[in-house]
Amino acid sequence: MATEITKGVDQVSVGELYVSDISGSDQDGDGSEDKPFKTPLKALQFAGKEPFPTIYVESQKEGERWAVISKTQMKNAKKAFNREQMKNDGKEKKEVWCSVFTRRRGFQSV
pLDDT along the chain (110 residues), means of 10: 44 78 96 96 94 95 95 97 88 63 58
Total domains in the fold of the chain = 1
Residue 74 inside a domain? The answer is yes
Domain housing 82: 12-105
Residue 44 inside a domain? The answer is yes
Residue 36 inside a domain? The answer is yes
Which residues, in sequence order, are bridge partners of residue 37? 19
CATH number assigned to the domain comprising residue 92: 3.30.1910.20
Residue 2 inside a domain? The answer is no
Kindly report whether the global pTM for this prediction surpasses the value 0.75: no
**Residue-wise DSSP of 14-83:** -SEEEE-TTT--TTT--SSSSS-BSSHHHHHHHH-SSSPPEEEEE-SSTT--EEEPPHHHHHHHHHHHHH
